[in-house]
Structures are given as structure tokens and as C-alpha cells.
């Protein structure tokens, strides 16, 4: 950069910061972004502390169960009933920036060898009034607050010059790059105010640089969309007040009204049962099992577990092998409902991703939650890992139950432990491409509008 060019950029920067409104908006964005990152880190640290506290309690509980029953005459059914086994979903490294579903869905769950569905979905309940406002994190600042800062900095870029009578002179300067410099400086200042706290938070949380880069890339495209919109509206209207009102209207429609209406439409077109309904259905099946002939329960159990056929006989009215078979039959009876429930959640998520192709806020939020692995897909992956672990746990106990073997301390130490799933955050390229196209179209349209104004002025 030549000395003259450097002087021009310096002058433009001074002009930008000379405005108390612009400086206040940038400082406020920086503070809000920093506060959001701090709040996100605090939430993640709280979740980690909760997992550590539950792990400590888990060790004490297992020691109590082992002391009470694991001996030469130990009863495997008793251990399987009272030994709650811990599963946990530690926060992914990028979760501090986009918490997503982690403030609503469980991230630690203790399960037994009993029916899984009653345990898995019983913990899905939450207070909808507390969930309604959402969570204050970096993604929230980006989607909802950044556009307001762009409006403050960009609504009068063109209209302000028209109102002061300088627009004719500025448009008569061919090849000066004035508008590129002004928009570029504001664009860079907004991204810096928003992105620096994210980078600092990523360093503190040891987040992968690639993930931070994707989040900053999504923020850059989203910011470009709003600056393109500001340029187009500013070039189309005559006064700064009108331009500001028009951009505020666009912000209300694009970030509040349309996403809310679309979400209501998706919820209406793709109804999803509540998880607690699956729990109640499974429990009802299990409770009815007490009145069903035991031979009938075993026959339904042997459909998927034929290896234990011939070992179902026992004396008396109760045996643990019948009890656990009854619970498994209850799970299998509700498997179709669970499949439909999960398919409905996945379908809603697909509709939301498609919606993100035309609504920039929705698309950007989808990208952030996916790369942070805090969306519905991440929660379902955790549930899948619990189901796989529950399968291992049941099959570990079945030989002791059906062969009526004693459960010793050595056997207690062999109880399978849950293996934490690996984060699966991936890049949602389609939403990023769509967002980039929208931003480019707006910038091109705004530039074309400015060119037409300049042509009319010169003629």
C-alpha cells in the first residue's frame, strides 16, 4: 500500500470513529460478544463440573451396591437393578459459542439394565417457559444483535451524503473506491468487534482452529449480507431516517417474524410426540406384563433373543430373568413409536436446514450449531450411544440371569463402562453457500444501484 493510499484509509478510519454513534455501537458489540463468550464458557464449565460431581457420586453408589451384594452368593438381578451406570456427553470444544440444545437436553444420564425408553425419555422434560427466551451465547449476538450494529453504521452511508449535498460530488469521482473503503472499514470493524472475543474464548477452551475459522467465516458471510442490504436500501431511499426504518423492518421480518412463522408451520406439518409419552407407553406395557402369563412374555422375548430359549423355567412367582425379559419386551413393543419419534425430529431438522437456504439467520444458526455439535443431530447421537451401551449392559447380565450364576466381586469389576462418544460436528456447506450467494447478490445489486445513480448525476 502506497503512502497516499495509507493516508486515505487513515482518514476514512478517523471519519468512522469520529462519530460517537459508530464508536459506541462498535464498543457495545465488542462488550456483548465478550459477555456472550464469557457466559458460554461459564455454562460449559458448569456442565463439566456437574459431570465430575455425578462421576464422584457414581463411584460411591457402585461401591455401596458392590459391598451389599457382590459375593459368593451375589445376585446378578439385584446388581442390575440397583447399579445405575453413568453415561455422559461432555461439552464439545466449540459448545461455548453455540450452546444449542445443551441447555435443554440432558448431557448426563444414569441407566440400568431395565427398559431403556423409560429411562431415556423420562429425562427429556423441561420447563417450556424457561426454554422460550433461548440462551445468551455468541451465536445469539451474531444472529440478533450484529444486524442492529450494521444498521447503526450503514443506514446513512449514502443517504447521509445525499442529505448534506455531497453525493453529487462523490459520485462524480471515477475510480476513487470511496464506497469500497467506507463499507470495507465498517465491515472489518464489526467483524473485529465480534470475532476477537470468539478467538480469545477458543484459545481458553482449546477449541480447534478449524472450527473457529468456520464460525468466523459464517459470521463474515452473515455480516456481508446485512451490509449488502444496507447498501441497497441506502441507495434506493432518500433520507437516513427512512433507510434506518426500512432496515429495522427487514431485521424484524428476517430474524423474528419469518423464522417464527416458519417454525410454527414446520411444527404443524411434522407433529412430534413428546418423549414423556414414549416413557409412559413403555411403562404401561411393562405394568401390563405383570398380568400376562410368563410363558407369553418369554415367547415375545425369544423372538430377538433365541439363544436363551429353554432356560426360562424357574420356581416360584418371581425371577429376575423374567423381570428383565418383561422390560425388554416393553422396549421392543414401543420400538416403532420411538423410530417414528426420531424420524420426525430428523425431518424437522431437514426442513429447518432447507429454510436456512433462504433465511440467512436460520442458515447461519444451523451452521454454528452443527459445527459445534450442539444441535438435534448431536443429541440423537448421544442417545444412540446410550442405546448401544444399554445393549452391552443387558447382554452382560443375561448369562448370569438365565444360567443362574452367582455374581462375585470379580464379576462386578467386569460390568461394561460407558465409552464417551466422539463429537461429530461437521460443516454445513449448503447453508454457507446459500448465505454467500445471498450476500453477493445484495452487494452486486447495491453496487449497480449506486452506478445508476452516478450515471444519472453525470448526465
Domain that holds residue 249: 20-458
Query: How many C-beta neighbours within 10 Å does residue 388 have?
Result: 13
Q: Say what the pLDDT of residue 130 is.
A: 44
Lowest mean pLDDT among 100-114, 152-166, 169-183, 218-232: 169-183
Q: Report whether pLDDT(168) > 80.
A: no
Assess contact for 139 and 365: CB atoms under 8 A. yes
Domain count, the chain: 1
Annotate 366-376 with b (16+ C-beta within 10 A) or e (fewer). bbbbbbbbbbb
Where are the alpha helices (H) located in 99-177, listed in sequence order?
116-120, 128-131, 138-140, 146-154, 159-164, 167-171
- Range 301-305, long-range pairs (CB < 8 A, 24+ positions): 301/325, 301/326, 301/328, 301/329, 303/332, 304/332, 305/398
Q: State percent of the chain over pLDDT 70.
A: 84
- pLDDT tens digits for 409-451? 888 889 999 988 877 778 788 888 888 888 888 888 877 776 6
Provide the pLDDT confidence category of residue 12 given band limits of 50, 70 and 90: low
Assess contact for 230 and 247: CB atoms under 8 A. yes
Question: What is the rounded distance in angstroms from the CA atom of residue 178 to the CA atom of residue 76?
Answer: 79
Average pLDDT, stretch 169-187? 68
Asked whether residue 12 is assigned to any structural domain, the reply reads no
Q: Say what the pLDDT of residue 166 is.
A: 60
Asked whether residue 255 is assigned to any structural domain, the reply reads yes
Secondary structure class of 109 (helix, strand, coil): strand
Average pLDDT, stretch 175-192? 78
Secondary structure class of 447 (helix, strand, coil): helix
Question: What is the rounded distance in angstroms from the CA atom of residue 261 to the CA atom of residue 374?
Answer: 23
Average pLDDT, stretch 83-87? 91
Assess contact for 85 and 418: CB atoms under 8 A. yes
Q: Report whether pLDDT(401) > 70.
A: yes
Q: Say what the pLDDT of residue 340 is.
A: 86
Q: Say what the pLDDT of residue 435 is.
A: 87
Question: What is the rounded distance in angstroms from the CA atom of residue 62 to the CA atom of residue 391?
Answer: 20
Provide the pLDDT confidence category of residue 132 given band limits of 50, 70 and 90: very low
Q: Say what the pLDDT of residue 134 is.
A: 61
- The C-alpha cell at 219 is 459470521
- The C-alpha cell at 152 is 447503526
Q: Report whether pLDDT(377) > 80.
A: yes
- The C-alpha cell at 392 is 452391552
Question: What is the rounded distance in angstroms from the CA atom of residue 363 to the CA atom of residue 357?
Answer: 6
Integer CA distances (angstroms), 237 to 93, 156, 241, in order: 45, 10, 10
Lowest mean pLDDT among 9-13, 140-144, 192-196: 9-13
Q: Report whether pLDDT(5) > 70.
A: no
Annotate 65-101 with b (16+ C-beta within 10 A) or e (fewer). bbeebbeeebbbbebbbebebbbbbebbbbbbbbbbb
Which pTM value belongs to this model? 0.88
Integer CA distances (angstroms), 222 to 100, 207, 249, 314, in order: 19, 22, 17, 67
Q: Say what the pLDDT of residue 285 is.
A: 77
User: Angle between the 146-154 and 209-236 helix axes, to the nearest 10 degrees?
Assistant: 40
- pLDDT tens digits for 255-312? 999 999 998 898 888 887 666 667 777 778 777 878 888 888 899 999 999 999 988 8
Query: How many C-beta neighbours within 10 Å does residue 148 have?
Result: 17
Task: Please give the full DSSP string across 356-372, using - where no structure is assigned.
Answer: TTT-HHHHHHHHHHHHH
Asked whether residue 123 is assigned to any structural domain, the reply reads yes
For the chain, what is the mean pLDDT? 84
- pLDDT tens digits for 221-247? 999 999 989 888 887 877 888 888 999
Assess contact for 363 and 356: CB atoms under 8 A. yes
Provide the pLDDT confidence category of residue 93 given band limits of 50, 70 and 90: very high
Average pLDDT, stretch 184-210? 93
Q: Say what the pLDDT of residue 392 is.
A: 94
Q: Say what the pLDDT of residue 129 is.
A: 43
Ramachandran area for residue 20 (φ above 0: left; ψ -120 to 50: alpha; else beta): alpha
Assess contact for 96 and 48: CB atoms under 8 A. no
Q: Say what the pLDDT of residue 86 is.
A: 92
Question: What is the rounded distance in angstroms from the CA atom of residue 189 to the CA atom of residue 307?
Answer: 68
Question: What is the rounded distance in angstroms from the CA atom of residue 95 to the CA atom of residue 116?
Answer: 27
- The C-alpha cell at 170 is 462523490
71 or 419: which carries more pLDDT confidence?
419
Question: What is the rounded distance in angstroms from the CA atom of residue 169 to the CA atom of residue 265?
Answer: 50
Amino acid at each position: 500500500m502506497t503512502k497516499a493510499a495509507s493516508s486515505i484509509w487513515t482518514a476514512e478510519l478517523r471519519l468512522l470513529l469520529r462519530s460517537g454513534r459508530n464508536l459506541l455501537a462498535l464498543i457495545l458489540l465488542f462488550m456483548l460478544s465478550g459477555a456472550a463468550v464469557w457466559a458460554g464458557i461459564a455454562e460449559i464449565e458448569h456442565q463439566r463440573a456437574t459431570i465430575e460431581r455425578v462421576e464422584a457420586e457414581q463411584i460411591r453408589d457402585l461401591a455401596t451396591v458392590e459391598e451389599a451384594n457382590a459375593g459368593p452368593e451375589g445376585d446378578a438381578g439385584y446388581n442390575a437393578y440397583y447399579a445405575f451406570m453413568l453415561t455422559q456427553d461432555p461439552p464439545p470444544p466449540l459448545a461455548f459459542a453455540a450452546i444449542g440444545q445443551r441447555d435443554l437436553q440432558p448431557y448426563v444420564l444414569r441407566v440400568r439394565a431395565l427398559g431403556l425408553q423409560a429411562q431415556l425419555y423420562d429425562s427429556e422434560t423441561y420447563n417450556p417457559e424457561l426454554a422460550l427466551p433461548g440462551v445468551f451465547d455468541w451465536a445469539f449476538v451474531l444472529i440478533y444483535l450484529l444486524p442492529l450494529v450494521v444498521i447503526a453504521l450503514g443506514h446513512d452511508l449514502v443517504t447521509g451524503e445525499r442529505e448534506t449535498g455531497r453525493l453529487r460530488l462523490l459520485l462524480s469521482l471515477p475510480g476513487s473506491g470511496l464506497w469500497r473503503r467506507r463499507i470495507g472499514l465498517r465491515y472489518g470493524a464489526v467483524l473485529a468487534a465480534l470475532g476477537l472475543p470468539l478467538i480469545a474464548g477458543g484459545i481458553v477452551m482449546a477449541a480447534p482452529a478449524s472450527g473457529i475459522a468456520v464460525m468466523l467465516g459464517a459470521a463474515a458471510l452473515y455480516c456481508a449480507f446485512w451490509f449488502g442490504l444496507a447498501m441497497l436500501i441506502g441507495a434506493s431511499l432518500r433520507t437516513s431516517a427512512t433507510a434506518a426504518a426500512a432496515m429495522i423492518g427487514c431485521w424484524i421480518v428476517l430474524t423474528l417474524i419469518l423464522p417464527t412463522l416458519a417454525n410454527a408451520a414446520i411444527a404443524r406439518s411434522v407433529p412430534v410426540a413428546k418423549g414423556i409419552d414414549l416413557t409412559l407407553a413403555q411403562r404401561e406395557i411393562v405394568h401390563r406384563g405383570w398380568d400376562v402369563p410368563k410363558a407369553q412374555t418369554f415367547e415375545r422375548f425369544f423372538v430377538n433373543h433365541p439363544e436363551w430359549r429353554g432356560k426360562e423355567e424357574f420356581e416360584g412367582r418371581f425371577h429376575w430373568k423374567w423381570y428383565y425379559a418383561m422390560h425388554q419386551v416393553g422396549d421392543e413393543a414401543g420400538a416403532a413409536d420411538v423410530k417414528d419419534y426420531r424420524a420426525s425430529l430428523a425431518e424437522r431438522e431437514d426442513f429447518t436446514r432447507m429454510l436456512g437456504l433462504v433465511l440467512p439467520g436460520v442458515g447461519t444458526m444451523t451452521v454454528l450449531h452443527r459445527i459445534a455439535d450442539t444441535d438435534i443431530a448431536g443429541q440423537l447421537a448421544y442417545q444412540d450411544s446410550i442405546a448401544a451401551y444399554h445393549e452391552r449392559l443387558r447382554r452382560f447380565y443375561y448369562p448370569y440371569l438365565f444360567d443362574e450364576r452367582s455374581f462375585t466381586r470379580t464379576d462386578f469389576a467386569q460390568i461394561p463402562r460407558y465409552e464417551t462418544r466422539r463429537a461429530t460436528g461437521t460443516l454445513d456447506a449448503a447453508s454457507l453457500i446459500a448465505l454467500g450467494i445471498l450476500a453477493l447478490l445484495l452487494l452486486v445489486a447495491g453496487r449497480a444501484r449506486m452506478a445508476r445513480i452516478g450515471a444519472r448525476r453525470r448526465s
